[in-house]
Structure 1
């Protein structure tokens, strides 16, 4: 199993979902509606991707945004301790605070333990 920060091809080309990881693992599902404008969001998001990729227990994440503006990011972690460690990173906490002040109209966070997972690939 290799750690990945985003689904292969997410920047363009052959888009694929991340694999089913060794069970159990945890997911953090972040659903959001953004405010208008960037206000430094893109740069901060890239920095958060860099930071989380270095975290022990981080497995990867996938993101999508609907045409109507709903964003969904699913982050995968080996265990709950890895999630708690990520929550405690100072730069991450500062980004969360800025998100509430500038970037998000609303958001919801769901944390769940994955006990069953499988995948399919044609061909």
Structure 2
């Protein structure tokens, strides 16, 4: 949803399946007036959704932005999808901030993670 310079250096942890992901991929328009403020507000709102697990984001130098939201169940995802402020932000995004986007929603059936605990050997 943003270039998120404050993004953590680690991805969101692997959760016990099943859970849901919403993958939002976008190319933004040159005029991003008001985007940062709306993005900050959306981050505040989504944290209050019961069943919200976290979010990962990345942006390429060419402007492709990917946001992955993690939700414990379909009800949590539906609560986010239907939130009134989120719906208004979506409309503004289509009118002003996005050149194009796609949204993919999936149920995760398998999940695992890895953390290196020592420096790699040369």
**TM-score normalised by the chain length of structure 2:** 0.89
The question of 1:56 aligning with 2:50 is answered yes
Q: CA deviation at 1:110?
A: 0.1
Which residues of structure 2 form unaligned runs of 5+? 118-122
How large is the RMSD of aligned CA atoms in angstroms? 1.2
- In structure 2, C-alpha distance between the alignment counterparts of 1:114 and 1:80, rounded to whole Å: 11
Find runs of 4+ consecutive structure 1 residues off by over 4 angstroms: none
Rg larger in structure = 2
Determine the structure 1 residue equivalent to 2:84.
90
State whether structure 2 residue 3 is matched by structure 1 residue 11: no
Instruction: Tell me how many residue pairs correspond in the alignment.
Output: 113
Question: Which blocks of at least 5 consecutive residues in structure 1 are unaligned?
Answer: 1-9
Q: TM-score, normalised by structure 1?
A: 0.88
Distance in 1, Cα, partners of 2:92 & 2:25:
17
